[in-house]
Chain A
Amino acid sequence: MKALLEYIALNLVDNHEAVQIKERVGRFTVTYELSVAPDETGKVIGRSGRVAKAIRDLMGVAAARQNKRVHVDIE
């Protein structure tokens, strides 16, 4: 799951060093906190959150494969 988020994030932004992913694994839910360079947050959120929604949908598939739910926070 983390590999998917990492892959998407790194391919959406230019500043790779600033990409950080924190993972908190619960019993049923996994929570990710994704942060990128402040001037690049728009690239992972998109107009009216369209990119963020797409990321969450795909992360949802990856989570469902492991019978879990996932939460992705973008800051």
Chain B
Amino acid sequence: MKSIEISARTVAEAVELALAQLGKDRDEVAIAVLDAGESGDEALVRVTVVDDDEESSPAPVGTVAASGGAEVQEIARTILEELLQRMDIHAYVTPVVTRVPGQKGDVEETITLHVEGADEEAMGLLIGRRGETLRSLQFLLNLLVSRRVQKWPQIVVDVGNYRQRRQESLEGLARRMAERVRQTGRPIMLEPMAAYERRIVHLALREDKTIYTESTGEGENRKIVIYPAKQ
């Protein structure tokens, strides 16, 4: 069974390169993300040919296809493609499975569906203001998939690597605002953010002992305040 490992700037690019090298389509391979490349590193993926012509019987393949997540992954991908098609958006959907060791020695699987298309305007629409539409798309997709598989699938949808870019820009914002708080000695209140975005900011500034961060406000209006460290 043919299998290659390839690294590139993003997971989607690595997959694209691997497919080109193997001369295969997405539905002919199993994709495993070895490194999602989130901390500025390059992404590393292993792509394994599922239905090799040389083998008459479709052999059970790699960790991805063998796991129970494979079925969920296919259902999710199909539903997302059907939604996009009805929104009149032409894009490619690449499912990737990331595995991290869980708390009890088990393995936690996350399915991420990467959406990519040439039409920048369409991709922008899909993301929406501050990722609002992307959140809705992800929520509705999980809901639709959950009705088929009888559990909440925890699928992540990303468009044109938006989530990673957003994380980087939030970290940059956090550091700039922290610097300003340090210089002026006055607290700064950031604009309202979703829970996982606030988490990114808190984490980015956790090591900085000259300031500290707190969340304030309720629900949609919850935001972070950066304070100078107490003397």
Are the C-beta atoms of A12 and B143 separated by less than 8 Å? yes
Q: Is the CB of B144 within 8 A of A58?
A: no
Q: How would residues 1 to 32 of chain A score, 1 for a CB under 8 Å from any chain B CB and 0 otherwise?
A: 00110011001100000000000000000000
Q: Which stretch (B15-23, B80-88, B182-190, B201-209) binds chain A?
A: B80-88
Q: Is B172 part of the contact surface with A, judged by Cβ < 8 Å?
A: no
30 contacts between A and B (CB under 8 A): A4-B86, A8-B83, A8-B144, A11-B79, A12-B144, A51-B139, A51-B140, A53-B136, A54-B136, A54-B137, A55-B140, A57-B133, A57-B136, A57-B137, A58-B87, A58-B136, A58-B137, A58-B140, A60-B133, A61-B89, A61-B125, A61-B128, A61-B133, A62-B86, A62-B87, A64-B125, A65-B87, A65-B88, A65-B89, A65-B122
Instruction: Give the number of chain B interface residues (Cβ < 8 Å).
Output: 20
Q: Beyond A4-B86, A8-B144, A62-B87: 5 further Cβ-contacts under 8 Å? A: A4-B87, A12-B147, A57-B132, A64-B125, A65-B89
Task: Report the bound CA distance from A3 to B126 in whole Å.
Answer: 18
Main secondary structure of the interface of B (DSSP, over half): helix
Residues of chain B within 8 A (CB-CB) of A58 are 83, 87, 133, 136-137, 140
Min CB gap B38→A, angstroms: 26
Structural contact, B89 and A54, CB atoms closer than 8 A: no
Chain A residues touching B, majority SS: helix
Q: Report, nearest first, the 7 A-B pairs whose CB atoms are least far apart.
A: A57-B136, A4-B86, A54-B136, A54-B140, A65-B88, A62-B87, A3-B86
Number of interface residues of A (CB under 8 A): 19
Q: Smallest CB-CB separation from A62: which chain B residue? A: B87
Q: Is the CB of A7 within 8 A of B137?
A: no
CB distance from B220 to the nearest CB of A (A): 10
A54 surroundings in chain B (CB, below 8 A) = 136-137, 139-140, 143
Q: How far is the CA of A75 from the CA of B88 in the complex (A)?
A: 26
Shortest distance in angstroms between A47's beta carbon and chain B's nearest beta carbon?
A: 11
In angstroms, Cα B140 to Cα A64, docked, is: 19
What is the 8 Å Cβ interface bit string for chain B, positions 123-147, against chain A (1 contact, 0 not)?
A: 0011010001100110110011001
